[in-house]
Amino acid sequence: MKKNIYAPMLAMTLTGAMLIAGCGGSPSVDKPTEKAAEKPATSSTPAANAKPVKLDIIETGTGLPTPDQDIIKQELDKALHTEINLTVYASPDDYKNQLNVRMASANFPDLFAVDRVQLKQLSDQGLLLDLTPYLDKLKPAKDFIGEASFKQGMLNGKTLAIAKAPTASKTSFWIRKDWLDKLNLKVPTTPEEMLEVAKAFTEKDPDGNGKKDTFGITGAKLNAFNTFFGAYGVGLMDGSQVPAIYVKDNKVVNSLYAPGMKDALASIKNMVAAGVVDPELMATSQTQAMQKAIKGQAGIFYTAWSDMTTAQNVEQMKAINPNVNWVQIDALQGPGGKFTASWDIGNPAGLYALPKSLEKSPDKLQKVFDLLNYVSSKDGSKLVQYGVKGKHFNLEGEKVVPTDLMAKEGAYFWLYQFTGRPEMEYLSVKFAPQIKLIDFANKQPRLQAVNGFIDFPSGYNAADANRYVEEEFSKFIYGKRPLTEYDSFLKTLEGSMNYKAFLEASEKKVKELGYVK
C-alpha cells in the first residue's frame, strides 16, 4: 500500500475513458492465473465430418454484432468446433423474464447468467446442474478464477454456478487540489482535518467568484461519508446503504453492532451540523452528485476514476474552470483504522449456471466445459479480452499492444468473458493513460465484507430492513433522532424487521465457508 497523500494531478487533456462493463471487485481477493493450456482442453478430438456442437447462451448486455460480424464467436467456434448462439438482453428485467419463461417451459439455455437470488430460486426448483462432481473437468477455469472467487458460485455446499474472476475496485475520495492551493490548505488525512477543509471550502470562496455558493462534500446519500465510516473501522457497502458484514478476530461482525458505528455517526453529524455537506445529499444520486462536482459546487467527492476521466465530464469541468484539478486522496486515518470503504468479496462480477438437463447430453456438457476452460486459457483469455492477434492487437514479448481496430470493434468482447479476466492487466492495456489513477483506487484499503455470500432467510425482507437503516441513519446524522436511541433502533430492527434471523444466517454461512474457524 502506497502511503502518498494524493495521486498525481489529473491531467485534463487525458483521453476520456469509457465506463467499464462489470467493474467492481476487491483488490485483495485472489487474482486469476493462467494455468490452463493455450489450446482448448477437450475430452476427445471430433471426427473431421462431425457437425459442430450447438451451444445456446443468454445473458444481459448490449452491442453484440450479428453472427457474420462477430469475430469472437467465429474464433471460438473454430477453436472449439462449436456453433455458439449468444443472445443478450439490454434490460435486466427483460432478461429475467426471458430466463424465467425458458426455464419454466424446459427450453433450457446451455449456459446462462444468474444473480444470487435467481441462483437460489432455480436451485430450489431443482433446475440447476450441480457442478461439484465435475470440478476436475473445470480445473483450468477454477485455477483462472481463483479459489476465493470460485466460492461465490456455491450454495448449500454445492457449486451451482461459475463465478467470474474478481474485478478491480474503481472508487476513492477525490478533492479539488486547486481549491486547497488557493486557500493554502493541506490534503486532509483524518476526519478532523477533513472537517476543517470542508469548512474552508464552504466559507472561504474557493472558486473566487465572490459568492457563497460552494460546500465541502457531495455524494450519493451515505456513501458520501465512506471514508468517515472507515476511519472508525465500520462501513456500509460501496454503492449502497447496506451495513457491511466482515470477519475480525475470527468473529463475524455486523457493522451496525460494531463499537465504532455510533462514533462514526457522531462524526458525520458534526459535519452536517457545521453546514459543510450538500444540503440535498440524502436525495442525491451518483449522477446528480457528479454534476455538482462538475459545476464546481463541491470540493470533496467519493466516486470512480472513470467518472472523473470520462471525456464529456472532463470537457464540462474545463469549460467552467480551465484550471480545475481534482486529485485522489487516501482513506482517512481514525481511531478504527484506515479504510476507504467496504468491499464485498462475496459479490461476484458475474455468475453463469448450467441446466441440470445437460446431464443427459454429455457431449454438449463437455463442450460447455471446453468453452469455460478455453476462455480461461492464455490464448482464449486474450481473445475475449482483446480480439484477434495480429488484427486487434500485437505482442511485444508478453506486452499486449492494441491496434486502432481494437477500439473500433472491441466494445462487445466482454460479453464472452464468461470466467472474467486478469483485471489490472486488462485495464493497463485498455486504459493506459489512466493506469496510475486506476492503480491508486484499486490499492485503497477496504474492509473485506462478505455480504454477497449470505442468502436471506425465510421471513426476512432485506429491502424493508435496508430502507429502515437508511431512514434512521439519516435521522441520526441530521439531529432528528438522538444517538442515545441507537440501541432502541437496533431493537426495532431485530424485532419488527426480523433482523435476528439475518444475523444468525450470516454467522452460519460465513462459518460454513471457512472464514471463521
pLDDT score recorded for residue 273: 97
pLDDT score recorded for residue 45: 54
Same domain, 365 and 513: no
Listed residue (164, 169, 202) closest to 183, CA to CA: 202
Same domain, 327 and 409: no
Same domain, 465 and 340: yes
d(C-alpha 158, C-alpha 21), whole Å:
28
Q: How far is CA 264 from the centre of its chain?
A: 24
**Coil vs helix vs strand at 215:** strand
Same domain, 201 and 311: yes
Domain final position from 364, 398, 430: 430
d(C-alpha 219, C-alpha 300), whole Å:
8
Query: In this structure, what C-alpha cell is assigned to residue 197?
Result: 477543509
Same domain, 162 and 69: yes
Same domain, 161 and 176: no
Which residues lie below 8 Å from residue 337, measured CB to CB, with a gap of 6+? 230, 231, 233, 445
d(C-alpha 176, C-alpha 300), whole Å:
7
- Residue count (the chain): 517
> pLDDT by residue for the chain (517 residues), tens digit each?
433 443 433 333 333 433 344 343 333 334 444 444 344 544 445 555 689 999 999 999 999 999 999 999 999 999 999 999 999 999 999 999 999 999 999 999 999 999 999 999 999 999 999 999 999 999 999 999 998 899 999 998 899 999 999 999 999 999 999 999 999 999 999 999 999 999 999 999 999 999 999 999 999 999 999 999 999 999 988 777 899 999 999 999 999 999 999 999 999 999 999 999 999 999 999 999 999 999 999 999 999 999 999 999 999 999 999 999 999 999 999 999 999 999 999 989 999 999 999 999 999 999 999 999 999 999 999 999 999 999 999 999 999 999 999 999 999 999 999 999 999 999 999 999 999 999 999 999 999 999 999 989 989 999 999 999 999 999 999 999 999 999 999 999 999 999 999 999 999 999 988 898 8
Domain of residue 83 covers 53-166+349-430
Q: Which residue's entry shows cell 486459457?
A: 377
Q: How far is CA 451 from the centre of its chain?
A: 13
Same domain, 258 and 124: no
* 191 close to 267: Cβ distance less than 8 angstroms: yes
d(C-alpha 4, C-alpha 229), whole Å:
21
Listed residue (97, 119, 95, 88) closest to 418, CA to CA: 88
> Is residue 179 one of the residues assigned to a domain?
yes
d(C-alpha 168, C-alpha 159), whole Å:
24
Same domain, 329 and 466: yes
Same domain, 187 and 319: yes
Instruction: For residue 67, give Cα distances in angstroms to 74, 77, 85, 110.
Output: 8, 11, 8, 18
Domain final position from 395, 430, 465: 430
Helix axes 71-80, 378-386, angle to 10 degrees: 160
> Is residue 468 one of the residues assigned to a domain?
yes
Domain final position from 373, 401, 430: 430
Question: Residue 152 maps to which CATH number?
Answer: 3.40.190.10
> Is residue 47 one of the residues assigned to a domain?
no
Same domain, 309 and 283: yes
pLDDT score recorded for residue 293: 97
> Is residue 46 one of the residues assigned to a domain?
no
pLDDT score recorded for residue 239: 74
Same domain, 155 and 210: no
Identify any residues that bridge with 351 across adjacent strands, giving them in sequence order: 114, 163
Stretch (H or E) spanning 139: helix 139-145
The percent of the chain in helix, strand and coil, each rounded to the nearest 5, is 45, 15, 40
Count of the separate structural domains present in the chain: 2
> Is residue 44 one of the residues assigned to a domain?
no
